[in-house]
């Protein structure tokens, strides 16, 4: 695959990402997708979606899991509802994530990804130990499907994420680095974080955000903004990706599904920005 192919986060059915026709109209050659709902995770749906992608010349590079009951309304709600961390839903969600891994295999895609949730800080707690065991069990299933699992960044600091990966001790656990999330959640300066976790970065998001004001950082959201308008610093971000040896897709994420026209316009703008930076940096 050519270095730094442009990508976009898309949805197979109704969801946060853009629809496939938008990726096609923008001439984007790779996509990550949100896993569809259980009712459409079947071989027929996979074959139909794969055919649409191949007709459009689009490669699927990762499938993101997500679950009923998750809410990103605010940081506290996110901590309570997202990923494999909430204990009441942990067993059911890991089972569903295995099914998503199976569906991902039908899409011939080697990468599943997810927000694992707010990993407990007390690494001696039962909840942490159980999360390690649960993650290992999931990774073994994912590995049997010939896949890796990439954890979305943001909910942990770089150091905490590194510790978690180290404690899980599996060779197919990696990172999907999202610089804007580090800002939105207030978990650390993104470029510094990227350098720390660099060796685990196997996929990335190109997304931008502005920090929440210092008094509420970490408890109130920062603000997601169009690529190039935020505090990430896109040129420095791409130069750092090159430094850590990342040459995979540059997947644009713009989560404003309530405004499809603006979403498309912003993504179109992001595509040009990334194309310009790519020629400047790689030439
Ligand atoms: Mg992201």
Question: What is the Å distance from ligand 1's center to 10 Cα?
Answer: 12
> H/E element holding 272?
helix 260-282
pLDDT for the residue 257: 81
4: pLDDT strictly greater than 80: yes
Provide the mean pLDDT of the chain: 95
Residue 13 predicted with pLDDT over 90: no
Please give the share of the chain, as a percent, with pLDDT higher than 90. Answer: 91
- Highest average pLDDT, of 23-27, 34-38, 43-47, 109-113, comes from 109-113
Tell me what pLDDT residue 136 has.
98
- Ligand 1 center to residue 212 CA distance, Å? 18
Q: Give residue 129 CA to ligand 1 midpoint distance, Å.
A: 26
Query: Is 6's pLDDT higher than 70?
Result: yes
280 CA distance to ligand 1 middle (Å): 25
- What percent of the chain clears pLDDT 70, i.e. is strictly above it? 99
User: In degrees to the nearest 10, what's the CA dihedral of 166, 171, 173, 178?
Assistant: 90
Q: Tens of pLDDT along 62-92?
A: 999 999 999 999 999 999 999 999 999 999 9
For residue 182, report the distance from its CA to the centre of ligand 1, in Å.
10
Burial class (CB in 10 A: 0-12, 13-18, 19+), 13: middle
Given this model, what pLDDT does residue 16 score?
A: 65
Q: What is the pLDDT of residue 14?
A: 59
Tell me the CA–centroid distance for residue 147 and ligand 1, in Å.
20
Question: Ligand 1: distance of its center to the CA of 155 in Å?
Answer: 11
Task: Single out the residue of 232, 134, 148, 225 nearest to residue 182, CA to CA.
Answer: 232
Ligand 1 centre and the CA of 219: distance in Å?
19
Domain 6-282 homologous superfamily, CATH:
Divalent-metal-dependent TIM barrel enzymes (3.20.20.150)
Banded model confidence at residue 21, pLDDT cuts 50, 70, 90: confident
Tell me the CA–centroid distance for residue 169 and ligand 1, in Å: 24
The residues whose Cβ lies within 5 A of ligand 1, an ion, are 178, 205, 253
Q: Coil, helix or strand for 66?
A: coil
The DSSP code for 87 is: G
**262 alpha carbon – ligand 1 mean position (Å):** 18
* This prediction's pTM: 0.97
CA of 31 to the centre of ligand 1 (A): 13
Query: What does the pLDDT look like over 198-226, one tens digit per residue?
Result: 999 999 999 999 999 999 999 999 999 99
**Rounded Cα distance, 102 and 144, in Å:** 10
Which of the four pLDDT bands, split at 50, 70 and 90, describes residue 15?
A: low
Query: Is residue 242 predicted with pLDDT exceeding 70?
Result: yes
Q: And the tokens for 156?
A: 């942990």
pLDDT given at position 184: 98
The pLDDT confidence band at residue 116, using thresholds 50, 70 and 90, is very high
């Amino acid at each position: 695959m050519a270095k730094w192919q442009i990508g976009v986060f898309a949805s197979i059915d109704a969801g946060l990402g853009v629809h496939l026709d938008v990726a096609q109209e923008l001439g984007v050659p790779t996509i990550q997708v949100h896993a569809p709902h259980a009712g459409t995770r079947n071989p027929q749906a996979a074959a139909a979606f794969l055919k649409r992608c191949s007709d459009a010349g689009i490669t699927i590079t990762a499938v993101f899991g997500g679950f009923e009951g998750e809410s990103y309304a605010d940081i506290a709600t996110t901590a309570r509802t997202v990923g494999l961390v909430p204990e009441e839903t942990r067993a059911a969600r890991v089972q569903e994530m295995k099914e998503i891994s199976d569906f991902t295999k039908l899409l011939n895609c080697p990468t599943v990804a997810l927000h694992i949730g707010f990993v407990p800080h007390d690494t001696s707690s039962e909840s942490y130990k159980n999360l390690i065991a649960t993650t290992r069990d999931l990774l073994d299933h994912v590995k049997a499907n010939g896949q890796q699992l990439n954890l979305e960044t943001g909910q942990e600091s770089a150091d905490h994420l590194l510790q978690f990966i180290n404690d899980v001790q599996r060779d197919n656990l990696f990172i999907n680095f999202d610089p804007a999330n580090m800002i939105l959640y207030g978990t650390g300066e993104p470029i510094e974080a990227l350098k720390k976790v660099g060796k685990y970065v196997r996929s990335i998001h190109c997304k931008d955000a502005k920090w929440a004001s210092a008094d509420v950082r970490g408890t109130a959201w920062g603000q997601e903004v169009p690529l190039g308008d935020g505090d990430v610093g896109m040129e420095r971000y791409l130069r750092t990706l090159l430094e850590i040896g990342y040459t995979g897709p540059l997947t644009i994420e713009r989560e404003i599904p309530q405004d499809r026209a603006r979403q498309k316009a912003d993504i179109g703008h992001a595509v040009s920005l990334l194309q310009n930076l790519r020629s400047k940096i790689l030439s």
